[in-house]
Amino acid sequence: MNRHSDLEALREGQVLESVALTRDEAAALNSTDLVTVQPGADGWRVTAAHTVGAIRCGDLVIRVRPKIGALQVLRLLARAHGVAGLKVDELLIGVAEDPDITAVLALLFAEEASTAMAAGPMRGYRTEEQTLSVLRGRLRLRDQELRRFGRLVPLEVTVDEWTTDTDENRRIRAACRRLLLFADAPQSTRDRLAHLDRLLADVWLVPRGALLAPWTPSRLNTRLHRLLHLADLVLDQATVEHRVGTVEVHGFVLSMAWLFERLIQQLLTEASGMVRVMAQHPRPLDIQARLTIKPDLEFTDGARVVAVADTKYKLLDEQGKFPNADAYQLVTYCARLGLKVGHLIYAAGEPRPEPFDIDGAEIRLIIHSVDLQQPVANLESQVETLFDNIVTATEQQSSHWRS
């Protein structure tokens, strides 16, 4: 029987047999998407597939570490959000020999906050509607008439407050609180996060589940840009917070398949210029619109779809082969979109150089791979070459099938 402590050191793709769990704990873990739990002959079987992160499930702590390392995942996650040049000093990450994502993210966030907040929190104007006994700001005449029926006080006014309670600071404080909740960072890092939280004590803390207002880069908030991007990484991922039975669950969960798709989309968008790249755009498959398809990536020239691609967070085998189901899916996409060529993009492995010409369909499948373990600059070069290959294949096949 495996101990609960074994759940704290899972690797991506690992299966742990014979784990002692209660039914509530098993149900709670299954609801997180971090691991799947199934009953076994002796205890429970816990499977960590292609989702990484760390969660607290009651008294349990479950960590799944990525194959490519937590630092590389954070670099790719930042790049997928359009943050170029995020510097992750490996000497700075002294949290563990093999740190988990939340610990590294907490340390990066605390480091950036020390720089961004050196001159104190940024202030800005926030427009608020208030009810006051004296005139301040602008009187809302219509509200005054409808609510006060001619009385002079209280007054319904609109006030522009010069305050630290800005959208940017709300986002930063929410991310700080989230990291304090579930990041297993060193105590020194947690102390720095707690100091940041106290520094923003006058900033409204958005209730759990409420949507935060988006932030817009500007000259006024330049010094906060990198910190806000890191806050986005904390808040925009699949953050788990719920209760199953008697078990409360919270944590940080990241799908590597989603990360791979988002990263490829971002880099292809930057490389594509005038060609627009759309992700997961639903389309009806049958005439009655009872079936739908959602290709991972579509390339449009503004008037029509010119290419389609599917990203697969899988490894090609030693012969460069891939599952037949991947081919069936892409052939369907090509047939529905009226395309003669489709592209499969894998996370690693050496693809076979020759394409697959589908018999009876006049459709060609081309296989590509992108190595996620490479430095970000190399990844960008790989995806630029990938886009050039997609364009070339589209032009060649269009002329080939016409002739």
Cβ contact 196:240 at 8 Å? no
Would you write out the chain's pLDDT as a tens digit for each of its 403 residues?
667 788 888 899 899 998 888 888 888 888 888 899 999 888 899 999 888 888 887 788 888 888 888 888 888 888 887 776 666 655 555 544 556 677 778 888 888 899 899 989 999 888 878 888 888 878 887 888 788 887 778 888 888 888 899 999 999 999 999 888 776 677 888 999 999 999 999 999 888 767 888 888 898 898 998 889 888 888 876 455 556 566 666 777 888 999 999 999 999 999 887 788 999 999 999 999 999 999 999 999 878 899 999 999 987 766 667 788 999 999 999 999 999 999 999 987 777 778 899 998 889 999 999 999 998 999 999 999 999 999 898 877 655 444 4
- Report CA torsion sign: 24, 25, 26, 29: positive
Q: How far apart are CA 141 and CA 157, in angstroms?
A: 8
Write out the H or E segment, with its range, that includes residue 69: none
Q: Is residue 362 a contact partner of residue 340, using CB atoms and an 8 Å limit?
A: yes
* Distance, CA of 349 to CA of 368 (rounded, Å): 9
Single-letter amino acid, residue 19: V
Q: For 136, which DSSP code?
A: -
Extract long-range pairs of 334-339: CB within 8 Å, 24+ residues apart: 334/308, 334/361, 334/363, 335/361, 335/363, 336/283, 336/285, 336/293, 337/283, 337/295, 337/298, 337/305, 337/308, 338/305, 339/305, 339/306, 339/307, 339/308, 339/363
Domain spanning 273-402, CATH class: alpha beta
DSSP assignment of 36-68, as one string?
EEEE-SSSEEEE--SEEEEEEETTEEEEEE-TT
- Ordered by start, the domain boundaries in the chain are 4-119+168-256, 124-163, 273-402
Vertex 313: Cα angle to 308 and 315 (nearest 5) = 110
Tokens 């979109």 belong to 337
